[in-house]
């Protein structure tokens, strides 16, 4: 038997084309988001290792549709992500489609899925990509529903806001900010803002949007606008065409307060609730007059109107008052809901023969509607087509 050794012959080590790393790292992918733009953009997903290693590693990826779909919202793709030796990060870049109209809609999501790791193991193997579309400035809605004429016999249109521009008329409207005293006296849960997230004008409509979000110590945001000290009226017919939100704890209102409220207080100033609505009673609206010499002596006259079919969020409806000396009628779709005469108040002072201003708002929670529950979805929107005053 012959024995050979490296001492007798020259020996060489065969090259290893698949080296084994000294450590096996774990790979993960992180969620990502990008605001939808009117031009195409890119969303970047970070792919990271929990530790570096002495050899390159790789992992495959694919994109999966969700509420965002390809090619409408993003460009479908698949491939391999490689992370060089002694490095720990790489990225997956996804092309996001443009939305030239800047449409406001719910945020859209899709998934990036990792598979087939080489030189590493899978940790977090999927990530959610969120296309933020909730702040778009273009909002459209079906215009179906009752409407009202531009003229009435014996009356003239003295003022209207058709919301036909791109923003609220600053010469007409004020923004009320905050939560007021104890939720505007009702233990409401929202914080009112002047942000275009909560109040904006689009396609001939005013939109007031309530959102579930943390803001200034509150869990909901919304908007409350008034014409105080800018547009006040006494008597005539007022028409307001609106489509309402829905959900437990959602409380929209189209209403008026006496212009002297800053001097005489509430309810001595008078309050005319042309439309109030509880989001869990989606086929019923309320009309109410509030009055009385003090909060302790507050009184009211109220009635409700129930649709014969459908809901107030299905389509637009018209909320009106016919207002003359010593009398106010509240109407829904031209049906009289409540009539109040000065004589109905007896000896209580009648505050409704004086100037009043408008308030439009969407409250969240409060003593009357109660708080949202797990059935309530956000955002919720009140959409106002117009407000018109005839005298």
The pLDDT assigned to 22 comes to: 63
388: which 2 tokens? 């018109």
Specify the DSSP element, H or E, that contains 295.
none
Specify the DSSP element, H or E, that contains 385.
strand 380-390
- 157-390, which class in CATH? mainly beta
Q: Which of 157, 361, 184, 358 is nearest to 259 (CA)?
A: 358
Torsion of CA 134, 138, 139, 143, to 10 degrees: -170
Candidates 190, 271, 281, 322; catalytic one? 271
Q: Which of 259, 256, 311 is nearest to 287 (CA)?
A: 256
The pLDDT assigned to 23 comes to: 80
How would you write the pLDDT of the chain (391 residues) with one tens digit per residue? Answer: 334 333 333 334 444 454 555 689 999 999 999 999 999 999 999 999 999 999 999 999 999 999 999 999 999 999 999 999 999 999 999 999 999 999 999 999 999 999 999 999 999 999 999 999 999 999 999 999 999 999 999 999 999 999 999 999 999 999 999 999 888 989 999 999 999 999 999 999 999 999 999 999 999 999 999 999 999 999 999 999 999 999 999 999 999 999 999 999 999 999 999 999 999 999 999 999 999 999 999 999 999 999 999 999 999 999 999 999 999 999 999 999 999 999 999 999 999 999 999 999 999 999 999 999 999 999 999 999 999 999 9
Per-residue burial over 369-385, b if 16 or more Cβ lie within 10 Å, else e, is beebeeebebbbbbbbb
Beta strand 250-258 pairing with 271-276 = antiparallel
Q: Which residues pair with 215 in a beta bridge?
A: 218
The pLDDT assigned to 182 comes to: 84
Cis peptide before 379 (omega within 30 of 0): yes
Domain assignments of the chain as residue spans, ordered by start = 26-132, 157-390
Residue 185 Rama label (left phi>0; alpha psi -120 to 50; beta):
left
The pLDDT assigned to 19 comes to: 53
> Measured between alpha carbons, how far apart are the two ends of the chain, in Å?
124
Domain 26-132 grouped into CATH 3.10.450.50: no
Q: What is the CA radius of gyration of the chain?
A: 31
Per-residue burial over 228-238, b if 16 or more Cβ lie within 10 Å, else e, is beebbbebbbb
Q: What are the C-alpha distances in Å from 105 to residues 50, 197, 348?
A: 37, 12, 49
Candidates 162, 276, 281, 322; catalytic one? 276
**What is the model's pTM?**
0.89
- Who's near 70: CB < 8 A, 6+ residues apart? 63, 76, 110
- Give CA angle at 218 (104, 313), nearest 5°: 40
Class of residue 335 by CB neighbours under 10 A (exposed 0-12, middle 13-18, buried 19+) = exposed
Cα separation of 131 and 139, whole Å?
17
276 in catalytic set: yes
The pLDDT assigned to 17 comes to: 52
188 in catalytic set: no
Counting every residue written for the chain, the total comes to: 391
């Amino acid at each position: 038997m012959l024995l050979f050794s490296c001492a007798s012959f020259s020996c060489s080590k065969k090259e290893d084309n698949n080296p084994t790393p000294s450590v096996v790292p774990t790979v993960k992918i992180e969620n990502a988001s990008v605001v939808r733009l009117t031009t195409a953009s890119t969303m970047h997903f970070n792919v990271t290792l929990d530790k570096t290693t002495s050899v390159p590693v790789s992992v495959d990826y694919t994109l999966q549709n969700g509420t965002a779909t390809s090619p409408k919202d993003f460009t479908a793709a698949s491939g391999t992500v490689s992370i060089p030796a002694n490095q720990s990060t790489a990225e997956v870049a996804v092309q996001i489609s443009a939305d030239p109209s800047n449409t406001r809609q719910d945020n859209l999501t899709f998934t990036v899925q990792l598979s087939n790791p080489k030189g590493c193991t899978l940790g977090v193997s999927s990530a959610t990509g969120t296309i933020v579309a909730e702040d778009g400035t273009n909002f459209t809605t079906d215009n179906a529903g009752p409407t009202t004429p531009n003229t009435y016999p014996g009356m003239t249109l003295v003022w209207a806001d058709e919301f036909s521009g791109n923003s609220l008329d600053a010469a007409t409207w004020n923004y009320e900010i905050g939560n007021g005293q104890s939720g505007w006296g009702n233990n409401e849960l929202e914080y009112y803002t002047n942000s275009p997230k909560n109040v904006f004008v689009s396609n001939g409509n005013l939109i007031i949007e309530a959102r579930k979000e943390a803001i200034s110590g509150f869990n909901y945001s919304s908007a409350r606008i008034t014409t105080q000290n800018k547009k006040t009226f006494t008597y005539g017919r007022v028409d307001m065409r609106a489509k309402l939100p829905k959900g437990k704890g959602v409380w929209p209102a189209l209403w008026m307060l006496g212009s002297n409220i800053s001097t005489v207080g509430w309810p001595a100033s008078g309050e005319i609730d042309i439309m109030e609505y509880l989001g869990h009673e989606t086929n019923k609206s309320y009309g109410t007059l509030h009055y009385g010499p003090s909060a302790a002596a507050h009184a009211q006259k109220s009635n409700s109107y129930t649709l014969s079919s459908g809901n107030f969020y299905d389509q637009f409806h018209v909320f009106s008052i016919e207002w003359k000396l010593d009398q106010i009628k509240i109407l829904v779709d031209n049906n009289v809901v409540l009539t109040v005469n000065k004589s109905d108040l007896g000896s209580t002072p009648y505050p409704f023969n004086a100037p009043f201003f408008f308030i439009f708002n969407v409250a969240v929670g409060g003593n009357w509607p109660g708080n949202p529950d797990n059935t309530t979805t956000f955002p919720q929107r009140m959409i106002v087509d117009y407000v018109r005053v005839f005298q």
